[in-house]
Chains A and B, each alone.
Chain A
Amino acid sequence: MGLFDRLANIFGLRKKEVNVLVVGLNNSGKSTVINHFKREEERCIDIVPTVGFNVEKFAFKNVHFTAFDMSGHDRYRSLWEHCYKDCQGIIFLIDSSDKLRLVVAKEELDMLLQHPDIIGRKIPILFLANKMDLLDSLTTVKLVAGLGLERILDKPWHIRATNAVNGEGLQPAIEWLTDQIRDIYINKR
């Protein structure tokens, strides 16, 4: 590493590129969240259920994110695991008003955590308890218990209630993820 590189790193000038994987059941708001992270002029107006997956780019605090917006439909969920290897962070969306499928979200999360490409890796996971605006939405405390998040000991994780439609809660959430990724990957490089 040359002197210039080192200097650039200290001042956060060098371009940092990271891949994040966005997963969660269908209709949880993944595409809506990603859309909100994009620049105003690049946003889509209407969002349809994703087929397969979409790759989106956005930047935050000088970190360039490549987000893999996966479809959460059960016939496409088997695609998720193919992206586990190359991602440096995971955003896991939960529709906090969908009590019925909390067990399904937990099942998918358990499978993710036990996947060979994830297990034992220190990869930050950001849980977004989305649709907090809806009346019957579960609190983050209930979701932590329902999903058994306290069992995750070897990975940094964080949960936040969000509203992807107006963007409430998204800023601090992505800030957390960015800081984690910076700590784990960029500063060590």
Chain B
Amino acid sequence: MTALSDDRPAATGLGGSRWLEAVWEPEARLYVLSGGLEILDVCGEGDPRLVCADLGTATTNSAKIRVYKGGDLISQHNLGDSPSGLVGFYSENGEHESGALAVAAGSSVYVYKNMRPYFKYCLPPMEAHAEEREKSLFRLQIWHRAGLEDDPNILVLTEDLETLLKEHGASVLSPRTLKLLGMESNLRPSFVEQYRRVPLTRPGVATTIATIRKDSWNNVASSYLLIGTESGQILVLDTRAFTVIDRLQLGWSPVALVGTGLWAKESRVVAVGRDGKLGAVKRGSASKLWSKLPAPAVSLSILPGEGAAVAVMDGSLWGFSKKGARLWKIQLPNIPLDLVGLPVPQRGLSLLAVSVARFGVRIYDGKHHVDTINTMEAVSAMKYGRMGQEERAMTMVTVGGGLNVRILKRTADFSTYVAPEMLPNFGSRFTIPKKTRLFVEQTIRERSEAVKIHDTFHRGLARLRLHTAKKAVDELTTNQDSGPSPVIIDASVLGLGPDYMIKICVTNVSDALSDTGLFIVCRGENADVKPRVLNLPLLPSTVPIPVIVKASPRSMISGKVKILCCKKGRVKPVALTSIILPAVEEEIQA
């Protein structure tokens, strides 16, 4: 295993790598971090495009949403604030056209449809820090009561706020305080005068955004938005009316979320915090802390079986079960930059892709390293999924701003690495998905195209029948030679009915003895014949051999009996005749 898990990419198929390079744009000038890429059918045309939350350059406030078709930029949209995440979602089940994009930036979530602004949701404000509020109130009241036009109290106020800032950091203070502190001191009195009567609040801040399925496992299924906030809540937002339908209390601010299960049935939101807290919260119950990671988390991804994998800044990768138990932990060769799930349903695999600084993108099957995508630069954000017409596209944005798309080869096989590990622990359970994607896709297709599929099937069936019939006719007409010993049969009906006797005379008309293996088959139409099959002895030349069978019509109508003389191992009968059984006269009742 050690020999296999080195950093060299595995040689498979024709080329050396499992991946085909489709796009490499080193000058794309994208600045995207984990969670900032989405692939979305922005126009509902069945052509999913890459959507990037570009943070712009660090110096200017130039955050943008950029949309790419393959490697070509097709549109960009300015954002007022730096985006903290973006997700694509559907608001209706089974409706491609209901696809939309949600971008969390600052205190709002911007929703785009067809890449046009559609809705802006503002997060509810948070309460200001208690000390900050009191200090401002207290000082301002003194200042107000004193009725002084002087600055001293504003000076004291700013001093107090300054110490608060030092103690707690800027993130807990309201923008008003921060603005006041950043101001020229001669402008402060008028600013205070303007705002002192307005209650002090802090705007809510969206730290991350994700989705959770509402009530359907279909490919195109409506979801709710999950918005992580600075105040330690997860807002669950309906995607039709954009109203908050639930608030999950986490108690700490999340930086990455994943929703598992169906909201309407059983669901869970796994969250990881800035300080390394990892936990899950269910609808209607308190959050459960799974673990406190030794360093801040970089990214979170779902594992098969509703567990989660976390890439941590100290260079480790952790796997957790559905219940929050640690399954495995592996050390990466360097610090991770992003982590995404890499499902390979064709092989029944659910892999993980971790971008590791200076080591490209490493692919893991659980804790086993199975492949590496070598990249020119370190990758800062990844997304795997259908792009354009390609279902296995891995999109990567590098730290240098380059855009790289690799496509997983159809023939790529990751199983060779797993085999030696799998052998010893025979008892381990295999992760077999309940419904494979192929099955689900096929079912959807069967549902929507039922008539066409039926027609196609019938066309195929008719063609198959025709083909079979043609072949049979061919077979019968080409095997004309009846062999060296032609045989003739004639038959006559004896008796009055309803039980008749059929006398069959078989004559070998050739000069020699007949073939072996000859037999008579009687096929009654609307008549019972007994026995149906009779073996014939060797027939001497020109001597008619009589054979008797019994026949009785099944009803009052006359029956027909087909008599075939066949040879074993030949399809075509040697001789054939048919006779009519006369209709039975009704018995006269005495």
Q: Do A and B bind? A: yes
Q: Is B189 an interface residue (CB 8 A)?
A: no
Partner of A98, one of B71, B389, B438, B452: B389
From B126-134, B404-412, B573-581, the one touching the partner chain is B404-412
Query: A19 contacts the other chain (Cβ, under 8 Å)?
Result: no
On chain B, the residues within 8 Å of A103 by CB distance are: 20-22, 407
Kindly state whether residue B540 has any CB partner on chain A within 8 Å: no
In the complex formed, the residue of A with least CB distance to B453 is: A51
Q: Which of chain B's residues has its CB closest to A114's CB?
A: B14
Partner of A104, one of B13, B20, B453, B463: B20
Query: Least Cβ distance of B22 to chain A in Å?
Result: 5
B175 contacts the other chain (CB 8 A) = no
Q: Is the CB of A100 within 8 A of B14?
A: no
Compute how far the CA of A134 lies from the CA of B392 in the bound complex, rounded to whole angstroms. Answer: 24
Would you call A101 and B22 a contact (CB within 8 A)? Answer: yes
Contact B393 A100 (CB under 8 A): yes
State which residues 166-189 of A face B: CB under 8 Å. none
Q: A101 contacts B409, CB within 8 Å?
A: no
A107 within 8 Å of B (CB atoms)? yes
B262-310 at interface with A (beta carbon < 8 Å): none
Question: Apart from A25-B389, A26-B389, what are 7 other A-B pairs with CB-CB below 8 Å?
Answer: A95-B389, A98-B388, A100-B70, A100-B390, A103-B20, A103-B407, A111-B411
B391 at the interface (CB under 8 A from A): yes
Q: Chain B residues near A102 (CB, 8 Å)?
A: 22
Nearest to A111 among chain B residues (CB) is B14
Q: What are 20 A-B pairs with beta-carbon distances under 8 A?
A: A27-B389, A48-B449, A74-B410, A95-B389, A98-B389, A99-B70, A99-B72, A100-B71, A100-B388, A101-B389, A101-B390, A103-B20, A103-B21, A104-B20, A104-B22, A104-B407, A104-B410, A107-B20, A107-B410, A111-B13
B390 touches A99 (CB 8 A): no
Report the separation of the CA atoms of residues A149 and B346 in the bound assembly, to the nearest whole angstrom. 30
Chain B residue numbers with a CB within 8 Å of A107 are 14-15, 20, 409-410
Decide if B410 touches A101 in the complex (CB within 8 Å). Answer: no
CB contacts (< 8 Å) of B393 on chain A: these are 100
- In the bound complex, residues from chain B placing their C-beta under 8 Å from that of A136 are 72
Task: Judge if B334 is at the interface, Cβ distance under 8 Å.
Answer: no
Mask: chain B, 211-254; 1 = CB below 8 Å from A; 0 = not: 00000000000000000000000000000000000000000000
| Interface, chain B (partner A; CB < 8 A) | 13-15, 20-23, 70-72, 346, 387-393, 405, 407, 409-411, 438, 449, 452-453, 456, 463
A72-93 interface with B by 8 A CB criterion: 74-75, 77-78
Cα distance A110–B387 in the bound complex, in angstroms: 23
Task: Name which of B13, B71, B346, B388 has the most chain A CB atoms within 10 A of its CB.
Answer: B388
Instruction: Encode A112-144 as 1/0 by CB contact (under 8 A) with B.
Output: 001000000000000000000000100000000
Complex-state Cα separation, A31 to B535, whole angstroms: 55
B390 touches A104 (CB 8 A): yes
Chain A residues bordering chain B, tally (CB within 8 A): 24
Q: Is the interface of A mostly helix, strand, loop or mixed?
A: loop
B407 and A101 within 8 A (CB): yes
Minimum C-beta distance from A95 to chain B (A):
8
A residues in contact (CB < 8 Å) with B:
25-27, 48, 51, 55, 74-75, 77-78, 95, 98-104, 107-108, 110-111, 114, 136
Residues of chain B with a CB closer than 8 A to A98's CB: 388-389
Chain A: which residue is nearest B391 at the CB level?
Answer: A74
Q: Which residues of A contact B388 (CB under 8 A)?
A: 98, 100-101
Bound CA span A183–B71, Å: 43
B409 touches A100 (CB 8 A): no
- Contact yes or no, B389 A100, CB < 8 A: yes
Asked whether, in the complex, the Cβ of B389 is within 8 Å of the Cβ of A110, the reply is no
For residue A79, give the distance in angstroms from its CB to the closest CB of chain B.
Answer: 12
How many Å from the CB of A106 to the closest CB on chain B? 8
CA distance A157 to B392 in the complex (A): 30
Q: Give min CB distance, A189 to chain B, whole Å.
A: 21
How far, in whole Å, are A27 and B405 apart by their CA atoms in the complex?
Answer: 20
Which A residues lie within 8 Å of B409 (CB)? 107
A48 CA to B456 CA in the complex, in Å?
11
Q: In the complex the two chains form, what is the Cα distance from A75 to B439 in whole Å? A: 12
Are B452 and A100 touching (Cβ within 8 A)?
no
Contacts of A27 in B (CB 8 A): 389
**Which residues of chain A are within 8 angstroms of B391 by Cβ–Cβ distance?**
74
Contacting residues, chain A, for B15 (C-beta < 8 A): 107
| Nearest 8 pairs of A and B residues by beta carbon | A100-B70, A103-B20, A100-B388, A74-B410, A103-B22, A99-B70, A100-B22, A27-B389
Given contacts A48-B449, A111-B14, contact A99 B71 (CB under 8 A): yes
Query: Are B346 and A75 touching (Cβ within 8 A)?
Result: yes
Instruction: Take A26-B389, A75-B346 as given contacts and tell me if A100 and B405 are in contact as well, using a CB distance cutoff of 8 Å.
Output: yes
**Complex: A47 Cα to B254 Cα, angstroms:** 48
